[in-house]
A and B are shown apart, each in its own frame.
Chain A
Amino acid sequence: MALFRWGHSWDAFHDLEREVDRLLQSVNLSFQGLRFGRQYPPVNLYELPTEYLITAELPGVNSEELELTIANGVLSMTGRHASPEGTTEERYRRQERPRGVWQRSISLPDRVRSDNLSAEFVNGILKIHLPKAEEVKPRQIPVAFGT
């Protein structure tokens, strides 16, 4: 039966991957006050009665170079940290701010109306409004009493 099992031969790796993910998640990586060395922009996710709200810290990212896409319940953000043109490496005395291109993908917690997203970018904070789909909102079910 080896032929039939061949297609599942990577299962062991998936298990390992899952285990490593679980292990990493259990490590608390939040250092208070430390705001450098983060290559990926930090993201917060909030829930409101009618929508989900994603906020991301993106200081120094040009809004023209910011790209948001949504597909299959995954929101992807791509952007670039702008750095001054024509400044050579040896002219830097300090270099702590992140540089270069980054990408983040976020699994959305529930069904959202992906045709009705809106985003705003103020003071280096990106806010994405994700309205909840109708079926996610609680619905009253009338109960009829039979006699």
Chain B
Amino acid sequence: MTTELTHTAKNGNAPAPHPPVERLVFTPPIDIYETDAGLILRADLPGVSLDTLDLQVQDNKLTLFGRMQPSVPDNARLLHQEYETGDFLRSFILSDEVDHQHIAAKLNNGVLEVVLPKADKPEPRRIPVQTS
């Protein structure tokens, strides 16, 4: 996991929003750190629940997409605003050192944790050479 994809709103692989209403797309802040078993990725996704989170690995691209659930009733009048609701989107290119088949993830208190285990290096294989 070395490269991060920069995306635009027209990212073709992102799940298309159902309502035609234009929604804001945010880049969530992330941490990536190494452990003995591999890499851990943590992303802040406040307001995103399991139902509105989509995590995909396609080829070697990991995409996370989360939709913030509205947390206030419709008749609430906004008096002061420091954050807006929208969608979270971020993509990464996974390197060969990640075992793509065993990626695990959990969502806890608005933080997504993705465990990217190290891939086992294939044993060197001896190729017998024959003389003709």
Contacts and interface: CB of A to CB of B under 8 A. Distances in A.
Contacts of B72: 44, 46, 53, 55, 127
B12 interface: no
B40 A44 contact: no
Interface residues of A, number: 41
Interface size range on B against A: 35 or more
* 8 A-B pairs with the lowest CB-CB distances in the bound complex, closest first: A124-B110, A59-B110, A42-B82, A42-B83, A46-B76, A96-B29, A124-B46, A45-B80
A97 B109 contact: no
Interface stretch (A15-23, A31-39, A131-139): A31-39
A44 B78 contact: yes
Interface string A50-67: 001101011111110000
Interface string B27-71: 111111111000110101111110000000000000000000101
Contacts of A84: 33, 40
Interface stretch (A5-13, A85-93, A111-119): A85-93
B81 interface: yes
A61 B77 contact: no
Contact of A60 (B27, B44, B49, B69): B44
A96 to B, nearest CB: 4
B79 interface: yes
B22 to A, nearest CB: 12
Of B24, B26, B40, B80, the most chain A CB neighbours within 10 A belong to B80
A121 B46 CA distance: 11
B130 interface: no
A109 interface: yes
B7 to A, nearest CB: 11
Given A45-B79, A47-B76, A61-B109, A125 B46 contact: yes
